[in-house]
């Protein structure tokens, strides 16, 4: 049976401020008509990163998709020969819509659940996959170079749950707009018990593909990167003022 064909998607409603991306109410309203609109894909559709993703998957894998939204990713996995896929989102509106849209694929399961407090038993999945979920939870951060304590805690809550529900040799895959110097420090934490690898994909603007293998180890450089996450921020350098003098050596006063 073919999948139902949704109408073409119009531009989704934008929040009044970026911090609304972290709120369930915003997503409920955004997905109010999700069943009738085409899937919206953050950071590329399945074909954009398929060559990176599929080699990391086995047909028998139990796969968990976090923050599924109305993306077609779970369905594309099913079509690609990976039938055991559970998708969660904290918006009950979109979960209901996705159950209806893909009712013809009964092995796909959809659950209302917060990625920070998963109700699955420990070691339930071989693969956990997220695409843009952490980006949404970090929306509203004022400085990507210095994530707030609240932002760090939010990411840690998700990653602890990911590590917990993965099997001892499981894989966590994260697709994001965040480059390694921003996101790598969150993933490079020994407490999660995984290794870390990075690749990029896309033409023009590049997105980022992070692969973490449970049971692996972080490199020394990655451990050093992880330490930076909890290091106190250095105060900004004191400004240096140039004197109004024909003899001033301007180049020596410029901090590059």
Computed over every residue of the chain, the mean pLDDT equals 84
pTM: 0.80
Tokens 């690749």 belong to residue: 199
Query: What letter does residue 67 receive in the DSSP assignment?
Result: S
pLDDT in the model for residue 43: 84
- With vertex at residue 156, the alpha carbon angle to CA 65 and CA 188, rounded to the nearest 5 degrees, is 90
Give the model's confidence band at 30: pLDDT under 50 very low, under 70 low, under 90 confident, else very high: low
pLDDT in the model for residue 231: 81
Domains of the chain with CATH codes: 44-229 (3.40.50.150)
Tokens read off for 235 = 């105060």
Task: Identify which has the larger pLDDT, 252 or 21.
Answer: 21
DSSP per-residue string spanning 99-122:
HHHTTT-TTEEEEE--TTS--SPT
d(CA 179, CA 175): 10
pLDDT, tens digit, for every residue of 206-249? 999 999 999 999 999 999 999 999 887 655 555 554 444 444 44
Nearest residue to 172 (alpha-carbon basis) of 209, 219, 200: 209
Predicted confidence (pLDDT) at residue 251 exceeds the cutoff of 90: no
d(CA 172, CA 214): 8
Tokens 């992880």 belong to residue: 226
Nearest residue to 122 (alpha-carbon basis) of 198, 224, 193: 193
Work out the average pLDDT over 106-118. Answer: 96
Asked whether 70 and 31 are in contact (CB, 8 A), the reply is yes
Query: % helix / strand / coil in the chain, to the nearest 5?
Result: 35, 20, 45
pLDDT, tens digit, for every residue of 85-100? 999 998 999 999 999 9
């Amino acid at each position: 049976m073919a999948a139902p064909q949704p109408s073409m998607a119009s531009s989704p409603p934008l929040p009044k401020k970026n911090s609304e991306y972290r709120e369930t109410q915003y997503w409920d309203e955004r997905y109010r008509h999700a069943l009738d609109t085409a899937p919206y894909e953050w950071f590329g559709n399945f074909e954009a990163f398929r060559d990176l993703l599929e080699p990391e998957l086995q047909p028998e894998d139990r796969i968990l998709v976090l923050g599924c939204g109305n993306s077609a990713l779970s369905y594309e996995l099913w079509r690609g020969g990976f039938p055991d896929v559970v998708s969660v989102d904290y918006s009950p509106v979109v979960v209901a819509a996705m159950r209806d849209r893909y009712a013809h694929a009964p092995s796909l399961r959809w659950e209302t659940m917060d990625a920070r407090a998963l109700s699955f038993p420990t070691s339930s999945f071989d693969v956990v996959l997220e695409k843009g979920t952490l980006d949404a939870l970090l929306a509203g951060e004022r400085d990507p170079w210095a994530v707030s304590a609240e932002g760090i805690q939010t990411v840690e809550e998700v990653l602890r749950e990911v590590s917990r529900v993965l099997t001892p040799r499981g894989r966590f895959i994260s697709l994001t707009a965040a480059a390694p110097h921003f996101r790598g420090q969150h993933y490079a934490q020994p407490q999660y018990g995984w290794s870390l690898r990075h690749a990029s994909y896309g033409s023009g603007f590049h997105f980022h593909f992070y692969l973490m293998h449970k049971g692996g180890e972080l490199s020394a450089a990655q451990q050093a990167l992880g330490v930076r996450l909890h290091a106190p921020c250095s105060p900004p350098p004191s400004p240096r003022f140039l004197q109004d003098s024909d003899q001033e050596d301007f180049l020596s006063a410029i901090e590059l």
